[in-house]
Amino acid sequence: MYEDVPVFMAEGALFRDQPYAGELPQGLWTTGLCDCHEDAHICVQTAIMPCVSFAQNTEIVNRGNIPSMNAGLIHLALGFVGCCWLYAFPSRSRLREHFALPEEPCSDFWVHVCCTPCAICQESRELKNQGADPSLGWGSNIEKWRREKITPPIVVPGMNR
């Protein structure tokens, strides 16, 4: 249904040609790992139910291929046994690939092992700052971009870190 939308694809227009390219720091996270206070809603939601925030992020990062309900339930189940980070860190890696972000402050694995809630909050803020609101879901973001005639975020092709 949404296969024709050029979101998170390396083909097509270059990042520097997009209208928002000059507004965002290229190759850098827009917020720090411990900047949870910058978005109180995401901070509180993640503190109470991290599986919900994670699920919303995962749906966007995977272009709707993984429904948020499925991602949230898997994250919740793994959280009960203390290893939700096993499911969460690959999603962070994929997000970084989409926006050509550095693996900071350490590998995605260790960021999630040491502070999964902070990582999930940072990922939510990054998606919002890049133009995708995780709380809306994939389909609603597509509709919003079409309605506002906005070109969704596109990966920087061939960028190396």
* Per-residue pLDDT tens over the stretch 70-120: 999 999 999 899 888 889 999 999 999 888 899 988 999 999 999 999 999
pLDDT recorded at residue 148: 85
| The pLDDT value given to residue 25 | 52
Confidence category of residue 2, pLDDT binned at 50, 70, 90: very low
| Phi, psi angles (nearest 5°) of residue 127 | -60, -45
Q: Give the model's pLDDT for residue 44.
A: 94
Instruction: Give the position of tokens 């925030």.
Output: 53
Identify the residue with better confidence: 81 or 11.
81
How far lies 146's CA from each of 143, 149, 160, in Å?
5, 5, 31
- Give the pTM: 0.78
**Residue 130 DSSP class:** T
pLDDT at 45: 94
Question: Which pLDDT tens digit goes with each residue over 134-157?
Answer: 999 998 998 988 888 877 765 544
Query: Which long-range contacts link 143-148 to residues 24+ away (Cβ below 8 Å)?
Result: 145/5, 145/7
47-75 pLDDT per residue, tens: 999 999 999 999 999 888 888 899 999 99
